[in-house]
């Protein structure tokens, strides 16, 4: 028997396979729909080539077969983690994606943490002050943040904090001549990430604020909070353990649902702040019409979202015991 | 043991004076302002007096909306923001109604414990039941870690939860309704209160489980010497477990007498109506529907509190012009108090034969001496 | 309707007025070079909101951009909701294997980062307004589909559906004629959000240079203004405020309509 957590992860990964497959079909259709193929793009980059070279390459890359044949070839290459060559970066797509991944993971992870914790905090405050001034200001603020395009907010932050105040570096993921020791380098990266994370985090924070506010208004009126009061517990304890904690569940669910949207949002934010991540890679691919590269990024993004969702479900099970019911029922009750 | 022992720690209960009743309520009034500022205010409790001694069970009975819950919430200081309360509530002689909120919170738990109707809803779903009780022990008795957990398990065992060490690690949804209510009772006992307020603690439970949980509550009263106020819709339940029964109608006490005497010879016409409708243990019978079946005209406006005259007059077969003009005061009647100008005159509710009621549920679980069924004495 | 709903309605009304009156207020092509570059707002009465780095009238660009945002926002949302309704109704009504496949597909669309998908589509098909609409519609239908499916599932058991079946109507006719209308109400709650999201995505695509190259739009204005952001931040600020106000208006109006149609849902959204 596998440990329950591991078998849960495996089950979820298996569940993700059809999703990846459907996305692969979609991506394949898009690639097919484009005028010209990878060979044309490759030859264009080389500065032209004769017809026999093109035919050779087509045969080598499986592009001379029927549609079904090409699709099967495409699937096989995906399974073997070969996503083709990128003209834009001049190398393998997989490699390009892997080099760009850490920056995006860092940006997304930090933004998720920032937006969720701030949203939970402010949403909780709004719920406690429901109907009052604070609530009104926070709710309106959330509505406005929700309507602001992230790339625009990023530009405004750059104007204010970089151009006018000079507090933060303009762009990039680290200073070129920055410190080399690990601590200094981490701080340097963190310094560069403050504005992009604030930008991405603030635009997604609004959603969590609204969710948390709604959930906590409900838990606040629950019988169990009244019962906790009846036990004479101090108010701060009631708020933390009996109101906020159960109200976290919808927020965590939404974290998973939002992972894909946030990855999309990071495309624009990464280009605004010149962060060398998946997003700016996607932008590069699009601006150079590098189809294999953009296809690879879409697939990688899908896998990333599936993984984030598994992580979210695992943490969900930690917060909401009802999720792990099946597992615990054998032990207790 | 555990529960009773710590009752003397801290708060207004420290200087418990034996010459004082455990709980003494004088002229309690609760007014709900209407939430959306459109409707009229509701005078949910309209001047009631109650006195409780330790080791006593008082049952509050009345149909839906008669102000039972409002009374308990006022006693516990848990009324919502749109309610205002007046009168005095003395716990061991100390007026707790006047206390500031922080001191009041200390009284809750330590002085007064409360058990709610919905046993699932009153336990926080994301916490293990053990940690819920540990928390009370930490806040009120300063117990931590293993000491707290040992005490928690003792409390659970005391409340009839088998295998407490394992159950303490369960989440509420993993327990049955009856077990959840036992846990809620254990949590209410944890700080060692003098008085337990139970608001329809068994209404949501299966009939057999109901009897067991009532049995537990009554046993606690006997063993720990706490005072129990038990709210119920069901006169049969009240008769089975209470020493005294207070019948509430439209925010006032209509009749308050020893359980057996009240069941045998009700003084107030409303009690007669309730008795006629009373069937033992009908958990799903919410909203006083038993009465409605037999007495459709009783559906009329009940909460006409505050007007002149007897508030029961519109539904009362004995009502006279005098009744409609002058509200009857609570006056001594056969061992208790009754608020009716014609107390004791109505023997049976018109159109309903004497209730020859057979208990629907085996009552073995209830201690025989506490059982006093309607009809049994007649 | 709620007060904030009316605020949204007025905002949207202004937006429509801007789009419709653009040729009346500013008859010249907004991309014409008409004045001195980088004029501050209010400096020259002819160019109320100043000029950009090339000397183009900012107000004129702003007005014409409203057209793109409105058209793309509404068309894409209509497309997304249309696809969603179609898929949701078929899946919910037919159930079984069809339902399973359709729901898997919608799950895939909810998992794939849809903005990346839109980028891929646009780079394959080329940047044009129609393709932008297509890309946004394709990436935002699943929410509607799932909602409609759930409603249809709960409605298809009702008697009137059986009656229609007995009357000899085909399953899809029954689904779209008898069941769907009842399932549409909750979709209203999604309209505001969907239109708002479409406007947002359109502006982001335009900002990245993936909109119609011959058309001015707020996203393009922000992108252009970026070059001169140090000297003339207003070129970025003004169009961004327009995007935000447009999205705010449609979401307020959407919430207001949803609250009016289904009061009990007000606090959920
Ligand atoms: N939060 C509140 N706001 C306004 N009115 C309230 C509120 N809670 C209760 N009331 C009103 O106060 C009156 C008494 O209610 P209460 O809950 O005490 O009745 P009850 O006897 O406990 O009834 P039930 O058997 O249904 O529990 C009712 O008329 C009720 O409508
Ligand atoms: S006072 Fe009169 S109306 Fe009221 S209960 Fe007694 S008899 Fe009936
Ligand atoms: Mg009640």
pLDDT digit string (tens) for A66-88? 777 777 777 777 777 777 777 77
Domain spanning A94-330: CATH superfamily = MetI-like (1.10.3720.10)
Chains touching chain B through at least 3 C-beta pairs below 8 angstroms are A
Ligand 2 atom closest to B311 (CA): 4
Domains and CATH numbers, chain C: 3-268 (1.10.3720.10)
Query: Which ligand sits nearest to residue B346's alpha carbon?
Result: 2
Residues 265-324 of A with CB under 8 A from C: 265, 267-268, 271, 282-283, 285-287, 289-291, 294-295, 297-298, 301-302, 305-306, 309
pTM of the entire predicted model = 0.81
Following CA atoms A168, A170, A175, A178 in sequence, which dihedral angle do they give, to the nearest 10 degrees?
A: -30
For residue A65, pLDDT beyond 50:
yes
Distance CA A23, CA A12 (A): 17
**Using alpha carbons only, how large is chain A's radius of gyration in Å?**
24
Mutate to test the interface with C, among A131, A298, A302, A304 (most CBs of C within 10 A): A298
Cβ of B173 under 8 Å from any chain A Cβ? yes
When CB atoms are compared, the residue of A151, A214, A263 closest to C207 is A151
| Interatomic CA distance for residues A120 and B257, integer angstroms | 53
- Cα of B261 vs centre of ligand 2, distance in Å, is 20
Report the largest interatomic distance among the alpha carbons of chain A, rounded to a whole angstrom. Answer: 86
Q: Is B298 helix (H, G, I), strand (E, B) or coil?
A: helix
Segment (H or E) for B240: helix B235-241
Between vectors from CA A191 to CA A185 and to CA A194, what angle results, nearest 5°?
A: 140
| Interface check A146 vs C, CB under 8 A | yes
CA dihedral C183, C189, C194, C196 (to 10 degrees): 160
Of ligand 2's listed atoms, the one at least distance from the Cα of B327 is 1
Q: How far is CA C144 from CA C76, C77, C87, C259, C269, in A?
A: 13, 10, 9, 18, 14
Residues with CB under 6 A from ligand 1: B 32, 35, 42, 44, 62, 64-70, 80, 82, 233, 303
How many Cβ pairs within 8 Å bridge chains A and B? 104
Beta-carbon separation of B171 and A230 below 8 A = no
* pLDDT above 80 (res C45): no
Distant-in-sequence, close-in-space partners of A50: CB < 8 Å, separation ≥ 6: none
B347, B271 Cβ separation under 8 angstroms: no
Pick the range with the lowest mean pLDDT from A55-59, A144-148, B240-244: A55-59
For residue A310, what are its two tokens?
């598994």
Give the CA dihedral A149, A155, A157, A158, nearest 10 degrees. Answer: 160
Q: Which of A159, A163, A267 sits opposite C119 (nearest CB)?
A: A267
Mean pLDDT of C238-262: 85
Nearest to B124 by CA among B205, B192, B183: B183
Residues of A in contact with B139 (CB under 8 A): 231-234, 237
Answer whether C touches A (≥3 Cβ pairs < 8 Å): yes
B90 touches chain A (CB under 8 A): no
Nearest chain A residue to C246 by CA: give it. A147
Residue of chain A whose alpha carbon sits nearest to that of C8: A143
Mean pLDDT to the nearest integer, A126-138: 91
Q: Are A191 and A168 in contact (CB under 8 A)?
A: yes
- Beta carbons of C268 and A214 less than 8 Å apart: yes
In terms of pLDDT, which residue wins out, A175 or B171? B171
Write the burial class of residue A105 (CB in 10 Å: 0-12 exposed, 13-18 middle, 19+ buried): middle
- Tens-of-pLDDT digits for all 378 residues of chain B? 344 334 333 344 444 455 678 889 999 999 988 766 667 788 889 899 999 998 999 999 988 888 999 999 999 988 988 899 999 999 888 888 888 888 888 888 889 999 998 877 889 988 999 999 999 999 999 999 899 999 999 999 999 898 999 999 998 988 988 899 999 999 999 988 989 999 998 887 888 888 888 989 999 898 888 999 999 888 888 998 999 999 999 889 999 999 999 999 999 999 998 888 764 433 333 344 433 333 323 333 344 444 678 988 888 888 899 998 898 999 998 889 999 999 888 888 776 554 444 444 333 333 333 333 333 332
Q: What is the DSSP string of C98-126?
A: HHHHHHHHHHHHHHS-HHHHHHHHHHHH-
Calculate the alpha carbon distances from B233 to B68, B122, B213 in Å. 9, 20, 16
Whether A217 sits inside 8 A of C267 (CB atoms) is yes
**Residue-wise pLDDT tens digits, B39-66:** 778 888 989 999 999 899 999 998 888 8
| pLDDT classification of C47: cutoffs 50, 70, 90 | low
pLDDT band for position A323 (50/70/90)?
Answer: low
- From the CA of B66, which ligand is nearest? 1
CA of C229 to the centre of ligand 3 (A): 65
| pLDDT recorded at residue B355 | 46
pLDDT of residue C41: 74
For a pLDDT cut of 70, what percent of chain A falls above it? 86
Q: Are A144 and C243 in contact (CB under 8 A)?
A: no
Question: Is pLDDT at C269 greater than 50 in this prediction?
Answer: no
Determine contact, residues C28/C60, Cβ cutoff 8 Å: yes
Q: Does A29 touch chain C (CB under 8 A)?
A: no
Q: What is the pLDDT of residue B295?
A: 35
- What does the pLDDT read at residue A177? 66
Q: Do A224 and B174 touch (CB under 8 A)?
A: no
Those of residues 270-329 in A touching chain B at CB distance below 8 A are 319-322, 325, 328-329
- In angstroms, the CA B86 to CA C4 distance is 40
Q: For residues C111 and A260, what is the distance between their CA atoms, to the nearest angstrom? A: 6
Which ipTM value was assigned to this complex? Answer: 0.86
> β-strands B252-258, B244-249: how paired?
antiparallel
Residues B115 and B184 sit within 8 Å (Cβ to Cβ): yes
| CB pair distance less than 8 Å for C124 and A34 | yes
Nearest to A260 among C113, C121, C245 (CB): C113
Among chain C residues, CA nearest to A263: C113
CA B69 – CA B213 distance, rounded (Å): 19
Residue B109 to residue A231, Cβ atoms within 8 A: yes
Spatial CA neighbour of B84 closest among B116, B43, B47: B43
List phi, psi (to 5°) of B38: -100, -55
Percent of chain A with pLDDT over 90: 22
Whether the Cβ atoms of residue A245 and residue A320 lie closer than 8 Å to each other: no
Pairing state between β B23-32 and B42-52? antiparallel
Q: pLDDT (tens digit, 9 = 90+) per residue, A188-241? A: 777 778 889 999 999 889 989 999 999 999 999 888 999 999 998 999 999 999
The pLDDT value given to residue B370: 32
Give residue C39's pLDDT. 66
Burial of residue A118, with CB atoms counted within 10 A of its CB: 0-12 exposed, 13-18 middle, 19 or more buried: middle
CA-nearest residue of chain C to A161?
C230
Going from the Cα of B251 to the center of ligand 2, the distance in angstroms, rounded, reads: 16
Q: How far is the CA of B182 from the centre of ligand 3 (A)?
A: 20
Residue of B nearest to A239 (CA): B124
Of the candidates C110, C204, C230, the beta carbon closest to that of A149 is on C204
CA distance C256 to C262: 10
Give the whole-angstrom CA distance, residue C187 versus residue C77: 12
Residues of chain C with pLDDT > 70: what percent? Answer: 90
* Amino acid A47: pLDDT: 66
Mutation pick for ligand 2 pocket among B253, B269, B295 (CB with most ligand atoms within 8 Å): B269
Selecting from B105, B124, B191 the residue whose C-beta is nearest the C-beta of A246 gives: B124
Distance of CA A140 to CAs A75, A153, B101, Å? Answer: 48, 17, 32
Parse chain A into domains and list their residue ranges.
94-330
Nearest chain B residue (CA) to A321:
B126
Predicted confidence at residue B102, as pLDDT, reads: 83
Return the partners of chain A (3 or more C-beta pairs < 8 Å). B, C
Phi/psi for A81 (5° steps) reads 55, 35
Distance, CA of B365 to CA of B209 (rounded, Å) = 9
CA distance C209 to B234: 74
Q: What is the pLDDT of residue A129?
A: 92
CA distance C263 to chain A (A): 16
Which of C54, C4, C3 lies closest to C30, judged by CA?
C54
Does B contact C via 3+ CB–CB distances below 8 Å?
Answer: no
Which subunits count as partners of chain C given 3+ CB pairs below 8 Å? A
Helices (H) and strands (E) in chain A, counts: 14, 2
Which pLDDT score, from 0 to 100, does residue C262 have? 60
Q: Using CA atoms of A213, A216, A222, A226 in order, give the dihedral in degrees to the nearest 10.
A: -120
Contacts with A, C 7-46, CB within 8 Å: none
d(CA C22, CA C59): 9
Higher pLDDT, C197 or C49: C197
B187 contacts on A by Cβ (under 8 Å): 227, 231
The answer to whether chain A touches chain B by having 3 or more C-beta pairs less than 8 angstroms apart is yes
């Amino acid at each position: 028997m596998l440990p329950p957590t591991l078998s849960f992860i495996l089950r979820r990964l298996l569940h993700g396979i059809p999703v990846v497959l459907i996305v692969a079909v979609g991506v394949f259709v898009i690639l097919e729909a484009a005028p010209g193929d990878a060979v044309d793009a490759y030859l264009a980059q080389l500065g032209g080539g004769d017809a026999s070279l093109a035919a050779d390459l087509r045969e080598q890359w499986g592009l001379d077969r029927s549609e079904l044949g090409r699709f099967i070839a495409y699937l096989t290459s995906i399974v073997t983690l070969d996503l083709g060559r990128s003209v834009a970066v001049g190398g393998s797509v997989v490699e390009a994606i892997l080099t760009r991944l850490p920056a995006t993971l860092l940006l997304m992870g930090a933004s998720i943490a920032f937006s969720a914790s701030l949203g939970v905090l402010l949403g909780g405050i709004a719920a406690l002050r429901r109907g009052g001034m604070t609530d009104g200001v926070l709710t309106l603020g959330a509505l406005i943040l929700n309507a602001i395009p992230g790339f625009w907010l990023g530009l405004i932050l750059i104007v204010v904090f970089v151009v006018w105040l000079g507090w933060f570096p303009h762009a990039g993921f680290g200073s070129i001549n920055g410190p080399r020791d690990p601590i200094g380098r981490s701080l340097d990266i963190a310094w560069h990430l403050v504005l992009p994370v604030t930008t991405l985090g603030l635009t997604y924070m609004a959603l969590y604020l609204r969710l948390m506010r709604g959930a906590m208004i409900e838990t606040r009126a629950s019988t169990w909070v009244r019962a906790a009061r009846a036990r004479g517990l101090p108010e701060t304890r009631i708020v933390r353990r009996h109101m906020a904690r159960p109200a976290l569940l919808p927020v965590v669910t939404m974290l998973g649902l939002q992972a894909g949207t946030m990855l999309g949002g990071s495309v624009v934010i990464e280009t605004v702040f010149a962060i060398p991540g998946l997003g700016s890679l996607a932008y590069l691919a699009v601006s150079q019409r590098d189809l294999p590269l953009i296809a690879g990024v879409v697939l990688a993004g899908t896998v990333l979202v599936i993984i984030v969702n598994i992580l979210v479900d695992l943490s969900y099970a930690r917060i909401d015991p009802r999720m792990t019911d099946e597992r615990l029922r054998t032990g207790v009750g | 043991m555990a529960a009773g022992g710590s009752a003397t720690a801290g708060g207004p209960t420290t200087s418990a004076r034996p010459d004082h009743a455990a709980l003494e309520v004088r002229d309690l009034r609760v007014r709900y302002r209407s939430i959306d500022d459109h409707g009229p205010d509701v005078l949910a409790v309209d001047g009631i007096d109650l006195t409780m001694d330790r080791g006593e069970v008082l049952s509050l009975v009345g149909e839906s909306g008669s102000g039972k819950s409002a009374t308990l919430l006022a006693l516990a200081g848990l009324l919502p923001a749109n309610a205002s309360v007046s009168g005095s509530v003395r716990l061991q002689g100390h007026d707790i109604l006047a206390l500031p909120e922080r001191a009041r919170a200390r009284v809750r738990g330590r002085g007064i414990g409360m058990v709610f109707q919905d046993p699932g809803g009153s336990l926080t779903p994301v916490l293990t039941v053990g940690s819920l009780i540990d928390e009370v022990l930490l806040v009120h008795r300063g117990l931590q870690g293993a000491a707290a957990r040992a005490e928690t398990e003792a409390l659970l065992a005391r409340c009839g939860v088998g295998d407490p060490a394992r159950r303490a690690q369960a989440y509420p949804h993993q327990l049955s309704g009856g077990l959840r209510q036992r846990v809620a009772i254990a949590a209410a006992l944890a700080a060692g209160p003098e008085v337990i307020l139970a608001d329809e603690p068994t209404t949501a439970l299966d009939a057999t489980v109901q009897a067991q949980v009532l049995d537990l509550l009554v046993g606690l009263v006997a063993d720990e010497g706490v005072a129990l106020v038990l709210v119920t819709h069901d006169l049969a339940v009240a008769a089975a477990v209470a020493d005294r029964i207070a019948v509430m109608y439209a925010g006032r006490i209509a009749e308050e007498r020893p359980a057996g005497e009240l069941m045998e010879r009700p003084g107030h016409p409303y009690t007669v109506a309730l008795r006629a409708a009373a069937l033992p243990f009908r958990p799903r019978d919410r909203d006083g529907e038993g009465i409605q079946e037999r007495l459709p005209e009783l559906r009329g406006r009940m909460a006409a509190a505050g007007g002149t005259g007897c508030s029961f007059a519109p539904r009362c077969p004995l009502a006279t012009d005098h009744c409609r003009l002058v509200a009857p005061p609570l006056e001594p009647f056969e061992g208790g108090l009754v608020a009716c100008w014609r107390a004791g005159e109505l023997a049976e509710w018109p159109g309903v034969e004497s209730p020859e009621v057979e208990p629907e549920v085996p009552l073995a679980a209830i201690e025989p001496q506490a059982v006093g069924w309607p009809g049994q004495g007649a | 309707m709620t007060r904030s709903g009316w605020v949204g309605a007025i905002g949207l009304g202004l937006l429509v007025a801007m789009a419709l009156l653009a040729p009346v207020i500013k008859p010249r092509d907004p991309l014409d070079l008409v004045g001195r570059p980088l004029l501050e707002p209010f400096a020259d009465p002819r160019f109320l909101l100043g000029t950009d780095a090339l000397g183009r009238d900012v107000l004129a660009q702003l007005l014409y951009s409203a057209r793109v945002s409105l058209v793309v926002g509404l068309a894409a949302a209509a497309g997304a909701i249309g696809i969603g309704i179609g898929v949701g109704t078929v899946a919910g009504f037919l159930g079984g294997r069809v339902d399973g496949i359709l729901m898997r597909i919608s799950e895939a669309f909810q998992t794939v980062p849809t903005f990346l998908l839109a980028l891929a589509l646009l780079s394959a098909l080329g940047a044009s307004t129609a393709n932008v609409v297509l890309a946004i519609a394709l990436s935002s239908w699943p929410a509607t589909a799932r909602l409609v499916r759930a409603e249809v599932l709960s409605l298809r058991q009702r008697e009137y559906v059986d009656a229609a079946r007995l009357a000899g109507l085909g399953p899809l006719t029954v689904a779209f004629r008898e069941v769907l209308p009842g399932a549409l109400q909750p979709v209203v709650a999604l309209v505001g959000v969907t239109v708002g999201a479409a406007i947002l995505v359109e502006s982001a695509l335009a900002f990245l240079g993936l909109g119609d190259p011959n058309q001015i739009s707020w996203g393009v204005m922000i992108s252009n203004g970026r070059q001169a952001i140090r000297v003339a931040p207003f070129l970025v600020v003004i169009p961004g405020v327009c995007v935000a106000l447009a999205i705010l208006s449609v979401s307020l109006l959407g919430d207001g309509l949803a609250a009016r149609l289904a009061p009990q849902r007000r606090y959920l959204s």
